[in-house]
Chains A and B, each alone.
Chain A
């Protein structure tokens, strides 16, 4: 080129030294009190779920009828239940089922919800109208009713619980993703993709999806808290996780009849465990939201 002028070869120095967005988010997470607190709580329960059996004082499943319903003592810190099982040991490993079922359900909800949200937000019009109305109708049915129907149809199992919760939560995630996609769709890079005759799938999943990850991440962590709550509720009602699992919701269900007799310790510690895990996940969600909105 004969009439060139300059070689603008350097990057502007200010921009070159800027941190990548991922590192910036990690940096801001590492300074967020609520994230660190929540993360510590969740990490504690994950370690318990993975390695709890190696450090519980007793076998969480071992009956000891003679020592049934003993109040908390030096030997049994949280007391024993009606079969004489050590409550402390059961609480420690009781996170195992809930920490596999709830995240898997949330993952299913995220994948299904994101796909639905991308389609409705991208195509708009009739596709959006039809899918959105169906999703709204679905959202109007309580999870418990859906669960009852599903269990009748599929039989009670962990995978039923995952499918029920996953599908019940997906419309909520779909709604969040749809809103984000609607505003992304107005940006010129989408028009540029159309002018390259990119397929709709490419535009949705390669062009738009990476830019709507932050709201998806926030919604997913929030949903995880709700999913833990929902799994505990369902196992309390006898769906999904089955005895003799030391699951918290299940333990509360089999012991709560005895609170009237003064045997509070059989229920209290499981309830506190559920509460702490939900609070921990919500603190993480709070921190993630803060870091991504900075």
Chain B
């Protein structure tokens, strides 16, 4: 049946449509691609471009309203379109496997891990002890060190990274020839993402499977894949070897996408990020000519009328009439900016000293924030960095008064002490500190119009009514680059980026001194993220506001932050000016965080890997809380004594027993060491 010499996957002129409201809406248009045996192929593009539809089409798992309107799919030489139900079932059981974005949802919550895995072997006629042995072997293969214990667990008892390993183990159980990974690391922390990517990379060497790797994250794809295809509006706009496409893109969309990312240590006071104006065409929109033409500064009348063919540029493809000059795409934002030197007053706008927060969880004390002290200067940005569970969000909520701190700590706003309870703060103090939440769908009331949402904020925070409110409303809307037309709609009618602009406008309604930004761009596409980051940077210059910026994306933090605090288990492990924290020497934890992030610019970066998971805050490790995972642990002292936060140089503080000079020496030396594992 399966032909081993054939290509692993071939799509021929595949078109897929979804039937919505009685109309067929095309989501994939005339898509052709080939994945060779043993090859890893990356499919990138923004949300809504049809990436996941490709994956679902390959295994014929399209939702009920989706169907293939033209073209063909063949998997290892087998025509998937012609298979009957039984053959399709066999193909899914034997030849192709899928790993999903959210492992928590892909696993059955009420069945133990062991049972879920042995089931797959039983389907293939292996039963009893042999199935259990094979399951154990499979879990070993995905580097789960204690398979017997994991097999007895339920999915919710495992961490996200562990769940995804189990998901990968399940996908590999049938020894597939084709492995489809649909955003396998998107919901995971950077350190865990790095582990999972390492695992997939190692498994590739052991297995013969070809890989279709779907991701919106260009850096992840560049790390994992041999070849990459860029999808736009359901069409392949560019394809080629990964390094060619990313280093020398030949389609304006790829060029623009790569420019949206903050890279190479770009900072808000040097440059605004490039953005892509306009929106992705809606699914099913009629496209005459090039799909990207409306958003492309290079487009001329030919682009709008004539669909460019996929030009073959010697081993790579580009769907652009002017592929040879794609890289001359003009920037949509000024490349450099001049900011008047920030005259920082020496007085911090916010001063935190000895802040603690203890929750009680089933009779145990859980210290979510532990003895945090820091200063925030006016007009500056403090970046809060750390894995999930490190206390970033709790710290932000403490400052806002949404949760109240333990007695003993102190928060001072412009020199005056701030009550820990929101109700005890003055109206002025509450107004002075606002927040932009991570998820605008949760932050904006879905029953209210944009006008109501912003009007209410102006009324309560700025005390404006009537025509004064209307006037300020228009100013505010314009300052976040929305128009009056957006005022009458409800949040659900806006795209994610526009919703986040509304949330930002609301936070700025009362002229705050400090705005907390809690992962404001993590739910957005890169082009939209760039526009939001630019907006935040512009507003900061104009309004002289300070930000507390929480993010797991270090490049984003680096772009916006002046100061950085690295948190681990509620403690500050490193604190200092952004450039010093990034240039090093770093705390070993920061070092691990930095090396976990896949980067587009570096071909081979030194990797320091963290083993295991972040320990429970109910029962934190003795001594230095990081010693259980620290790749640079020096001995018993780490387990016994908690190191102090030492000011090493010019306000750059590190909580580590290793002296600063020694850290500097160690981290320079790692150039010669390929890999360090704890």
Whether B481 sits at the interface, judged by CB under 8 Å, is yes
What is the total number of residues of chain A having a CB less than 8 Å from a CB of chain B? Answer: 31
* Secondary structure of the A contact surface, majority rule: loop
Docked pose: A211 CA to B490 CA in angstroms: 13
Known interface pairs A189-B445, A196-B461; A11-B494 also in contact (CB < 8 Å): yes
B483 nearest in chain A by CB position: A9
Flag whether A126 is at the interface (Cβ < 8 A): no
Q: How far is the CB of B482 from chain A (nearest CB, A)?
A: 8
Tell me if A73 counts as interface (CB < 8 A to partner B): no
CA distance A195 to B447 in the complex (A): 19
Known pairs A3-B534, A5-B332, A195-B400; A11 contacts B442 (CB<8 A): no
A13 contacts B by Cβ under 8 Å: yes
Question: Which residues of A have CB within 8 Å of B460?
Answer: 196-198
Contact A8/B435 with A13-B285, A18-B493, A196-B456 known, Cβ cut-off 8 Å = no
Could you tell me the distance between the alpha carbons of A94 and B492 in the complex, rounded to whole angstroms? 47
Given contacts A189-B443, A189-B445, contact A6 B538 (CB under 8 A): no
A4 to B334, CA, bound (A): 9
Among B278, B332, B497, chain A packs the most CB atoms within 10 A around the CB of: B278
Question: Are A15 and B492 closer than 8 Å at their CB atoms?
Answer: yes
How far apart are the CA atoms of A203 and B161 in the complex, in Å?
A: 38
B279 near A10 with CB under 8 A, answer yes
Q: Give Cα distance in the complex from A92 to B278, angstroms.
A: 63
Asked whether any CB of chain B lies closer than 8 Å to the CB of A66, the reply is no
Could you tell me the distance between the alpha carbons of A7 and B485 in the complex, rounded to whole angstroms?
A: 13
A197–B427 CB distance below 8 A: yes
Inter-subunit contact B275/A6 (CB<8 Å): yes
Separation of A98 and B39 alpha carbons in the complex (Å): 73
Chain A window 187-204, contacts with chain B (Cβ cutoff 8 Å), 1 for yes, 0 for no: 111011011111000000
Near A by CB (< 8 A), chain B positions 438-464 give 439, 442-448, 456-457, 460-461
CA A21 – CA B531 in complex, angstroms?
30
Question: Could you say which of B443, B481, B490 contacts A192, with CB atoms under 8 Å apart?
Answer: B443
Whether a CB of chain A sits under 8 angstroms from the CB of B486 is yes
Does the CB pair B402–A195 fall under 8 Å?
yes
Which residues of A from 1 to 41 have beta carbons under 8 Å from B? 1, 3-16, 18, 20-21
Q: Does B422 contact A (CB under 8 A)?
A: yes
| A11 interface neighbour in B283, B481, B485, Cβ under 8 Å | B485
**A207 within 8 Å of B by Cβ?**
yes
A189 touches B531 (CB 8 A): no
Q: How far is the CA of A21 from the CA of B447 in the complex (A)?
A: 10
- The distance in angstroms between the C-alpha atoms of A5 and B430, with both chains bound, is 32
The answer on a CB contact under 8 Å between A195 and B278 is no
Asked whether B443 lies within 8 Å of A194 as measured between CB atoms, the reply is no
Q: Which B residues touch A188, using CB under 8 A?
A: 437, 439, 442-443
For the complex formed, measure the closest distance between the CB of B598 and the CB atoms of chain A, giving whole angstroms: 27
Question: Is B495 part of the binding interface, using a Cβ–Cβ cutoff of 8 Å?
Answer: yes
* Bound Cα distance from A8 to B531, whole angstroms: 10
B126 at the interface (CB under 8 A from A): no
State A21–B449 Cα separation when bound (angstroms): 13
Residue A262 lies at the interface, judged by CB distance under 8 Å to chain B: no
Residue A244 CB within 8 A of the other chain: no
Q: Is the C-beta of A210 less than 8 angstroms from some C-beta in chain B?
A: yes
B376 shortest CB reach to chain A, Å: 18
A5-B275, A8-B278, A197-B427 in contact; A211/B446 too (CB < 8 A)? yes
> What's the nearest-Cβ distance from chain B to residue A284, in Å?
24
CB neighbours (8 Å) of A9 from chain B are 483, 485
Known A1-B542, A6-B481, A14-B282; contact A192-B435, beta-carbon cutoff 8 A: yes
Are the C-beta atoms of B430 and A197 separated by less than 8 Å?
A: yes
A129–B57 CA distance with the chains assembled, in angstroms: 52
In the complex, which residues of chain A have a beta carbon less than 8 angstroms from the beta carbon of B442?
187-189
Residues from chain A with a CB closer than 8 A to the CB of B275 are 5-6
A208 CB to nearest chain B CB (Å): 9
Q: Cβ of A195: which chain B residues have Cβ within 8 Å of it? A: 400, 402, 422, 430, 433-435
Interface string of A108-134 (1 = CB under 8 A from B): 000000000000000000000000000
Give chain B residues whose Cβ lies under 8 Å from the Cβ of A11.
485-486, 489, 493-494, 498
When distances are taken between beta carbons in the complex, the residues of chain B under 8 Å from A7 are 277, 481, 483
Contacts of B282 in A (CB 8 A): 12-14
B489 touches A191 (CB 8 A): no
Q: Cβ of B541: which chain A residues have Cβ within 8 Å of it?
A: 3
CB-defined contacts of A198 to chain B, threshold 8 Å: 460
In angstroms, Cα B333 to Cα A3, docked, is: 7
| B531 engages A5 (CB within 8 Å) | yes
Q: Complex formed: what's the CA distance from A20 to B506 in Å?
A: 24
1/0 per position for A174-197, CB-CB distance to B under 8 A?
000000000000011101101111
Asked if B203 is at the interface of the complex by the 8 Å CB criterion, the answer is no
By the criterion CB–CB under 8 Å, are A3 and B422 in contact? no
User: In this assembly, does B337 line the interface, its C-beta being within 8 Å of a C-beta of chain A?
Assistant: yes
Which residues of the partner chain B approach A12 to less than 8 Å between Cβ atoms? Answer: 279-280, 282, 494-495, 498
Which chain B positions have C-beta within 8 A of A207?
445, 448
Q: Tell me how far the C-beta of A281 lies from the nearest C-beta in chain B, rounded to whole angstroms.
A: 27
How many angstroms between the C-alpha atoms of A6 and B260 in the bound complex? 14
**A15 x B333 contact (CB < 8 A):** no
Chain A residues contacting B402 (CB-CB under 8 Å) are 191, 194-195
Q: Which residue of B lies closest to A19 (CB)?
A: B21
- In the complex, which of the residues A11, A14, A18 has the most CB atoms of chain B within 10 Å of its own CB atom? A14
Which residues of chain A have a CB within 8 Å of any CB of chain B?
1, 3-16, 18, 20-21, 187-189, 191-192, 194-198, 207, 210-211
Q: List 8 A-B contacts (CB under 8 A).
A: A1-B538, A6-B277, A6-B481, A7-B277, A12-B495, A188-B443, A191-B435, A196-B430
Task: Report which B residues bind A (CB closer than 8 A).
Answer: 272, 275, 277-283, 285, 332-334, 337, 400, 402, 422, 427, 430, 433-435, 437, 439, 442-448, 456-457, 460-461, 479, 481-483, 485-486, 489-490, 492-495, 497-498, 506, 531, 534, 538, 541-542
Sample of 17 further A-B pairs with CB below 8 A, known A5-B333, A15-B493, A210-B448: A3-B333, A3-B334, A3-B541, A5-B531, A5-B534, A6-B277, A8-B279, A8-B497, A9-B485, A12-B279, A15-B495, A187-B443, A194-B422, A195-B402, A196-B430, A196-B456, A211-B446
